[in-house]
């Protein structure tokens, strides 16, 4: 005897909600109340409901694929972001095509005009090299959600992290630990971007505490990696000044800086406290484990996929006042690298 497949109507009846609500949940509509979403998802699990995504996509003339464009997957943050995006997309029946731009202006512009866009229904886009003068490039004819900073605001849905506030928080943590000679690693002159915003948060926190930033304790790094973090740390130490703390603008540079400190016989956190930003998985397993800012990567991925699914479903008009501007929450992860006492 055949068993009847569970339908969306069955889910709605068991959960005590409308068919529309169930549809909004399975299509990742971002404005469903959390308690309602949890109730529907719980019933979906209980009943074993499976949406026929293939049939849905065919009926709507879609491919069922979205693209995620990031600078490079060898950077841990973007690899982990891609993992979170794939998981979020899978929950709403979407497949993710990953594109690497190389973090160059040419690569970031090419991904917007490539014939490959015809293979996908929409784009999650994380540019790092474009500037405000390039904002016109965002006037595209397909659904897109911008990930990253605000310099390119162009009436496009946008999910960002709290770079400046996060940097302020981690700097304040170092100051509260009695550190005053705090080095900044990774800052460089730029019009916008995470580096600029995080450096701004650092300087604002130092100014609020009445602590002057020693220019000898600031070293730039164009490409953020362990190698450039170690090189920037060496550059600072070779200036003849030893910091009592380091804030690196991302975790991999912080790990590189810690290695350089150890090579020169300095202990962490005894001689120098070290903190980063991004909360990559490696940060909790380094020795010492790394204090860092968790920028809400899972929230960023889920929100961005939800917004794109919303656009694909035709809810609301592209651009203008209808565009969403969402900043994910963050938290300070205090670990061994900044311990006191």
We report the CATH number of the domain holding residue 40 as: 1.10.260.40
Residue whose pair of structure tokens reads 């991999």 in the numeric block: 252
We report the CATH number of the domain holding residue 103 as: 3.40.50.2300
Q: Which domain holds residue 153?
A: 63-160+296-329
Give every residue of the chain whose pLDDT is below 50, as ranges.
Answer: 1, 189-191, 316-321
Is 1 within the bounds of a domain?
no
> Do 29 and 84 sit in the same domain of this protein?
no
Q: Which residues pair with 275 in a beta bridge?
A: 247, 291
> Do 120 and 18 sit in the same domain of this protein?
no
Domains identified in the chain, total number = 3
Position 51 scores a pLDDT of: 64
> Do 243 and 98 sit in the same domain of this protein?
no
> Do 44 and 70 sit in the same domain of this protein?
no
Total residue count of the chain as it appears in this document: 341
Is 3 within the bounds of a domain?
no
Position 322 scores a pLDDT of: 67
């Amino acid at each position: 005897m055949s068993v009847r497949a569970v339908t969306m109507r069955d889910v709605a009846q068991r959960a005590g909600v409308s068919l529309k609500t169930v549809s909004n949940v399975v299509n990742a509509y971002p404005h469903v109340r959390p308690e309602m979403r949890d109730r529907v998802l719980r019933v979906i699990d209980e009943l074993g409901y499976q949406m026929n995504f293939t049939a849905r996509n065919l009926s709507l003339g879609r491919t069922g694929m979205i693209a995620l464009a990031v600078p490079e997957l060898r950077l841990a943050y973007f690899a982990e972001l891609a993992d979170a995006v794939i998981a979020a997309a899978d929950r709403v029946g979407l497949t993710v095509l990953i594109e690497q731009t190389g973090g160059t202006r040419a690569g970031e512009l090419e991904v917007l005009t490539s014939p490959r866009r015809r293979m996908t229904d929409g784009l999650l886009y994380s540019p790092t090299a474009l500037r405000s003068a390039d904002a016109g490039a965002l006037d595209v004819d397909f659904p897109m959600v911008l990930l990253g900073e605000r310099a390119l605001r162009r009436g496009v849905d946008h999910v960002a992290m709290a770079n400046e506030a996060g940097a302020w928080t981690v700097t304040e943590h170092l100051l509260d630990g009695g550190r005053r000679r705090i080095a900044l690693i990774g800052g460089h002159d730029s019009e916008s971007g995470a580096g600029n915003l995080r450096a701004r948060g650092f300087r604002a926190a130092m100014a609020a505490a009445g602590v002057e930033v020693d220019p000898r304790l600031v070293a730039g790094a164009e490409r953020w990696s362990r190698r450039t973090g170690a090189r920037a740390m060496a550059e600072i130490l070779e200036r003849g000044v030893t910091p009592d703390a380091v804030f690196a603008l991302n975790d991999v540079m912080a790990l590189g800086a810690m290695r350089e400190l150890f090579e020169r016989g300095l202990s962490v956190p005894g001689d120098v406290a070290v903190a980063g930003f991004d909360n990559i998985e490696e940060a909790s397993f380094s020795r010492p484990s790394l204090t860092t800012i968790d920028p809400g990567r899972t929230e960023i991925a889920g929100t961005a996929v939800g917004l794109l699914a919303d656009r694909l479903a035709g809810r609301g008009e592209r651009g203008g006042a209808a565009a969403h501007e969402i900043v994910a929450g963050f938290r300070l992860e205090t670990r061994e690298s900044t311990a006191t006492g």
